[in-house]
């Protein structure tokens, strides 16, 4: 069954592989180009919890500005964080820089999974994906899409997250030694376009005949997931502090660690630490309330009130006056970009 599964899947992939800017055509020889593992690694980091459609323009931007890992390693933190703005999960960008600098220092990416896993920010999945796709090494690559395919294929009934050990063991039994990168990407494509969370397209699946979940009649029930926890609500305030009749706004850079770390932002009232947004404004004055924006994080939902004040005084602490006309070039995180849009509309 194992050989049959990999053979059927690879034959399907040869006909149906997605054309993506970080991929080779099915069956291609690996390029003798040091930038190849860089492109694979960059795409895998960007694709974590993010859609292909959202990643494509960011991948093009990064590889255009920083075409090699050495170029990225030499970039400033501010430039990279600004280029990442809007892609979310900003710890990825911080780890991206740490990893790029570690790779540049060692003279290139290691080719085996264990050494890749030792690099900053590379967990089991990313290390396995880079080993398989960039270097052709046999590696068991399991992301959320692959997890779903394998859970259904083998009818693994144990609920997540405990089922992940069994899912990985089952995935190991069907992972071939040849065309490792193509197999990993085929599994991802199958999960994202055919073996979907809802209404899986079993009639189009190359593995339908071998699928135990389909034979049971309810493949969409797998993998079994625990009940969703309620997402807590938070409240906070962002401050739109301007000077020169609104020509410039005061921006700060958030601490390197923690939520939205290292990103340019509007000053806020410390809602990330306090949960209730009970901190103080950066300056005393008659602040006007402009409205509020909503934003969802993985762990909480936030209502961020936006208040405005025109002043000729810079607040204490580090920051910079930024031209409001070019606020789009500041690289604000999505939350603060929303607040800036509201402020510009209402101020």
Catalytic residues: 44
Handedness of CA 5, 8, 12, 17 (dihedral sign): positive
How far, in Å, CA of 175 to CA of 195, rounded? 18
Contact 324, 242 (CB under 8 A): yes
* Nearest CA-CA partner of 148 in 225, 222, 226, 50: 222
How far, in Å, CA of 152 to CA of 170, rounded? 11
Q: What Cα–Cα distance (Å) separates residue 184 from each residue in 48, 58, 207, 214? A: 15, 23, 15, 22
What residues does 292 pair with on adjacent strands?
A: 305
For residue 131, the tally of other CB atoms under 10 A from its CB is 29
DSSP H helical ranges for 175-311: 180-193, 212-216, 271-274
């Amino acid at each position: 069954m194992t050989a049959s599964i990999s053979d059927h899947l690879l034959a399907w992939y040869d006909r149906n592989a997605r054309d993506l800017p970080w991929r080779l055509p099915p069956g291609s020889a690996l390029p003798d180009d040091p930038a190849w593992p860089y492109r694979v690694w960059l795409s895998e980091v960007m694709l974590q919890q993010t859609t292909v459609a959202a990643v494509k323009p960011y991948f093009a931007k990064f590889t255009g500005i920083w075409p090699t890992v050495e170029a990225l390693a030499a970039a400033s933190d501010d430039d990279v964080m600004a280029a990442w703005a809007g892609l979310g999960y900003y710890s990825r960008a911080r780890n991206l820089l740490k990893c790029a600098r570690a790779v540049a220092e060692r003279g290139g990416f290691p080719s085996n999974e264990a050494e890749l896993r030792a690099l900053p920010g590379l967990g089991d999945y990313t290390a396995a994906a880079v080993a398989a796709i960039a270097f052709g090494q046999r590696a068991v690559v399991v992301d959320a899409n692959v997890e779903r395919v394998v859970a259904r294929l083998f009818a693994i009934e144990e609920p997540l997250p405990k089922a992940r050990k069994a899912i990985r063991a089952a995935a190991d039994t069907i992972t071939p030694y040849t065309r490792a990168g193509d197999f990993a990407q085929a599994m991802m494509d199958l999960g994202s376009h055919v073996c979907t969370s809802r209404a899986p397209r079993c009639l189009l699946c190359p593995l339908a005949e071998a699928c135990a979940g389909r034979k049971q009649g309810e493949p969409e029930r797998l993998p079994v997931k625990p009940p969703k926890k309620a997402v807590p609500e938070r409240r906070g305030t962002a401050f739109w502090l301007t000077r020169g009749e609104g020509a410039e706004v005061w921006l700060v850079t958030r601490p390197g660690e923690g939520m939205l770390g290292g990103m340019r932002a509007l000053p806020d009232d410390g809602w990330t630490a306090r949960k209730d947004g009970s901190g103080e404004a950066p300056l005393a004055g008659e602040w006007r309330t402009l409205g509020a924006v909503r934003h969802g994080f993985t762990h909480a939902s936030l209502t961020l009130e936006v208040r405005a004040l025109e002043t000729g005084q810079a607040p204490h602490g580090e920051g910079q006056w930024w031209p409001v006309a070019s606020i789009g070039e500041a690289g604000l995180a999505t939350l603060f970009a929303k607040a800036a849009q509201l402020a510009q509309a209402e101020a």
